[in-house]
Amino acid sequence: MSVARKLRCRECGREYPLEPSNVCEFCFGPLEVVYDYAALMGHVTRERIEAGPPTMWRYADLLPVDAEDAVDIGTGYTPLLRAPSLGRELGLSRLYIKNDCVNPTWSFKDRVVSVASSVARDFEFRTLACASTGNLANSVAAHAARAGLDACVFIPADLERSKIIGSAVYGPTLVAVDGSYDDVNRLCSELGDKYPWAFVNINIRPYYAEGSKTLGHEVCEQLGWRAPDHCIAPMASGSLFTKIYKGIKELAWLGLIDWQPTRMSGAQALGCSPIAEAYDRDSWNIRPQKPDTIAKSLAIGNPADGYYALKTMRDTNGSATAVSDEEIIKGIQLLSETEGIFAETAGGVVISGLRQLVREGRVGPDEVVVAFITGAGLKTQEAVAPVLKPALTVEANIESFERALEEREGVLPLTKAV
């Protein structure tokens, strides 16, 4: 039972009916979904949620669409793993990894697109659209296929082949746009105004963004119905970051967890860090940047929710940090080598960002810390490939193997001693 009731402008508070719109007609501020939480009191219980499906749709009561109308390809309820080895490396005694790499198209975008595609179908759109450099495109193409909608996906003309295939396989209309990032951005904004499509992060954005809340919901449930002390998440537009916190607050409002302050800290790549830069300047004004980083999934130079991300981190006594491309690669390797999770570049940003925050004393050693890993490493293999050891090449006999191993490692294999 969805209790979404209306849209409200986050700036001037004007209210609108639930319709495909994301901008206030009066002040052009962003719109947000408003729920009747009072109607959920007593209806939503821990038991009801625990009896739900093992997907993000177990929290359908807190989403703007009913579960039975969901376009669900099995997204969410991803593992929350205790990370003792990585914790030791970083100096954290209670570190957890929220592994959203394992979603159907291998990123957290499935959460937002699952909601957006469901709402789009409710509004009787025939076409689902987006502009993306990777993860969002994959997810929109997949969900449109599942929902029986047409998909129109805009990508930069110079996008890597692996990312194109990850969308093309679902059969969308793929449009490679020849132009700069700003050109693609402008074109897609204009298309969003002109065509009667569900552009997931334009006219469907208020609903789309709500999908990220389920990361906050899940983490609390998986911690045994308690909020983390400290969350660290990647920041691109800033929407994911603010919605994780909203998800945690919703559970507290409904009495499903005890209220306790959760600190929200965000990480960006140094080559595109407008939010972290504003945080460092102690300013509310985001200075747009031209992205130049290997963390393409975070390369939003003019973040739509940057101000709200700053507000969330300041309200919660969290902070922001930015890491270099070299540190991003080290972060990917560290997570892989300590916990067996191969993250894309955004994950490297989070792990290296967390290391930096711990060193600076901005994350406490005994806090319950959750690091959000939002996409799988197979999508950005080119980032780590140059720094990995090549395979040993041997002949098909034991002598050759042992000789090769000794040459590289200076020791013989353990099996020899057994």
Partner 1 sequence: MATVRTKFTFLDQLIKEPIIWKLAKEFDVVTNIRRADVTDERGWVILELEGDQDEIERSLDWVREQNVRVDPVYEDVVEG
| Minimal distance, residue 55 CB to partner 1, in Å | 22
29 with 9: CB under 8 angstroms?
Answer: yes
Q: Which is nearer to partner 1, 96 or 279 (CB)?
A: 279
Is residue 366 within 8 A of residue 94, CB to CB? The reply is yes
Q: What is the 8-class DSSP label of residue 409?
A: H
Q: Are the C-beta atoms of residues 97 and 80 closer than 8 Å to each other?
A: yes
Q: In terms of CB distance, is 127 or 302 closer to partner 1?
A: 302
Closest distance of CB 145 from partner 1, Å = 19
Amino acid at 216: G
The residue among 81 and 168 lying less far from partner 1, judged by its C-beta, is 168
Calpha distance 26→158 (Å, rounded): 38
**Smallest distance from the beta carbon of 344 to partner 1, in angstroms?**
9
CB–CB of 55/108 below 8 Å?
Answer: no
Beta-bridged to residue 232, according to DSSP, are 265, 371
CB count, 10 Å around CB of 365?
A: 14
Rounded to the nearest whole angstrom, what is the least distance from the CB of residue 275 to partner 1 in the complex? 12
For residues 2 and 138, which CB has a smaller minimum distance to partner 1 in the complex?
138
In the chain, the amino acid numbered 219 is V
Question: CA quadruple 354, 355, 361, 363: dihedral positive or negative?
Answer: positive
User: Smaller CB distance to partner 1: residue 35 or 308?
Assistant: 308
Q: Which residues bind partner 1 (CB under 8 A)?
A: 11, 22-23, 26-29, 109, 130-136, 154, 156, 181, 184-186, 188-190, 192, 199, 201-202, 205, 236-237, 283-285, 287-288, 296-304, 346
Closer residue to partner 1 (CB): 83 or 188:
188
Q: How far is the CB of 174 from partner 1 (least distance, A)?
A: 15
88 vs 281, beta carbon nearer partner 1: 281
* Closest approach of partner 1 to the CB of residue 380, in Å: 10
* 64-67, long-range: CB < 8 A, 24+ apart: 64/2, 64/4, 64/18, 64/33, 64/35, 64/115, 64/119, 64/206, 64/207, 64/210, 65/2, 65/4, 65/115, 65/118, 65/119, 65/122, 65/207, 66/1, 66/2
Cβ closest to partner 1, residue 287 vs residue 416: 287
Which of 30, 228 has the CB closer to partner 1?
Answer: 30
178 alpha carbon, distance to own chain's centre:
27
| Cα separation, 163 vs 166, whole angstroms | 5
Cβ at position 105, least distance to partner 1 in Å: 13
CA separation, residue 150 to residues 125, 135, 208 (Å): 9, 18, 18
Say if CB 138 and CB 146 are below 8 A apart: no
Strands (E), 160-236: 173-177, 198-199, 230-234
Measured distance CA(115)–CA(127) in Å, rounded:
15
Our CB check for partner 1 shows the closer of 156 and 377 to be 156
CB of 27 to partner 1, least distance (A): 5
Shortest Å distance, C-beta 158 to partner 1: 13
Min dist. Cβ of residue 379 to partner 1 (A): 10
Tokens of 210: 């709500």
